[in-house]
Chain A
């Protein structure tokens, strides 16, 4: 199956700082999503980004499918950005779906 590795596993930031989260995947995938799991356990869809670059406010993401990695950028971090960020990769055919282990982010005021 697909192997998905996220780095760093843990990250502590001061409010206002910028950060980059990385997701490496082992095989070609045609679907990739970034999620934020908030302290209440809800999975908030941030980006569906199998390739290219997207931006939404302070967040942006880039996937380079040919090199098998994706990056999530958080700028001017806020305490509400705290939680766990997951990269999720899957192939349309069959049951090849894999979540990464997550990056646990804490933003301090």
Chain B
């Protein structure tokens, strides 16, 4: 069981470059989420998708766009990367109605 798979695991970008982080889940979950974790802190929600075809902003959406490509896949795009977006990005999924969230292993992104 793969669970939630994120690619790539590591990436270094230059300021102004664009990048798409990929996330796929094989648990047939309806909801998917993107979080960021800055050093020494808990995770903060960037965007989420409650179901296929819908996306909504979380706590820290500025500078990001998302696409729910199908039920399995939810991508996060940085159009013009900034050093403040250096972070570890986690994708998660769950079913609605009182179910635990399952997390991927994270993408470590550095922007120089």
Contacts and interface: CB of A to CB of B under 8 A. Distances in A.
A94 B56 CA distance: 9
A33 interface: yes
Interface stretch (B11-19, B20-28, B38-46, B71-79): B38-46
Contacts of B88: 41
Interface residues of B, number: 24
B44 A99 contact: yes
Contacts of B99: 31, 48
A95 B45 contact: yes
Contacts of B44: 99
B45 A102 contact: no
A47 to B, nearest CB: 9
Interface in A67-82: none
Most central of B96, B98, B101 by chain A CB within 10 Å: B101
B42 A41 contact: no
A30 B42 contact: no
Contact of B97 (A43, A92, A99, A102): A92
Interface in B36-70: 41-45, 48, 56-59
B102 interface: yes
Contacts, number: 53
B98 A42 contact: no
Given A45-B100, A50-B98, A102 B59 contact: no
Contacts of A42: 105-106
Contact of B42 (A50, A94, A100): A100
B8 to A, nearest CB: 14
B106 A102 contact: no
A88 interface: yes
Contacts of A92: 96-98
